[in-house]
Amino acid sequence: MSERVPILKIGDVLLVSIQFDLEDQMVMDLQEDLSQRIVDTGAHGVVIDISALEIVDSFVGRMLASTAAISRVLGAETVVVGMRPAVAMTLVELGLSLGGVRTALNLEQGIGELRRSRRNGPVPR
């Protein structure tokens, strides 16, 4: 399985838009690729758009949480954007609250969120 989720760079923000149901291997590849890209580009922010995802199970949920933690260590703030209502309700029932992950309604709000967090003090390196 060599299919990988593309990571786009806009300014100092990396944008990951997950457009289809991911196999577990792709989820793990994405996490690896993203860490590498943060180091390579010196990006300060990561936006992960999950608006196309119809489900987020504990595996993907855990990936989002650990990606946020890894990025923070590498000096980039992560915002997860576009979670669908049904997905949010399911995650609550599943017992996953994604504590420690910043979220925003959509891409625009997400980038605004990153901008605010930079203005209010840079992420400690």
Partner 1 sequence: MTNVGDSDRLLGLLTEGREEFTGQWVRSVTSTLAGRLPAAEVQQDLHELYPALLDALRSGGLATRDESYGEVRSLLTELSRNRARQGFSPTETAFSVLSLKDVLEPALTAGEDVRAYLQLARVLDDLGLYTIEVHAKTREEIISAQAEQLLELSTPVVKLWEGVVGVPLVGTLDSARTQVVMEKLLQSLLDLNATHAIVDITGVPAVDTQVAQHLLKTVVAARMMGAECVISGIRPQIAQTIVALGIEFGDITTKATLADALRHALDRIEARGPVEIGGLL
Partner 2 sequence: MTSSSQPVEESDAQESPITGNGDVVKARQAVRALAQQARLSLVDQTKLVTAASELARNTLSYGGGGTMRVSIVTRAGTTGVKAVFSDQGPGIPDVDLALTDGWSSGRGMGLGLSGARRLADEFTLESAPGRGTTVSVVKWAR
Instruction: Catalog residues that contact partner 2 under the rule CB under 8 A.
Output: 1, 21-25, 54-59, 61-62, 84-87, 89-90, 93-96
CB of 80 to partner 2, least distance (A): 17
Given candidates 8, 28, 52, 88, which one binds partner 1 under the rule CB under 8 A? 88
What's the token pair of residue 87?
Answer: 């997905």
What's the token pair of residue 77?
Answer: 């703030």
**DSSP secondary structure letters along 3-16:** ----EEEETTEEEE
The 8-class DSSP code of residue 52 comes to: T
- Residues 5 to 34 in contact with partner 1, rule: CB under 8 A: 10-13
Distance CA 22, CA 123 (A): 30
Can you give the binding site for partner 1, defined by CB under 8 A?
Answer: 10-13, 45, 80-81, 83, 85-86, 88-89, 91-93, 97-98, 103-106, 108-116, 118
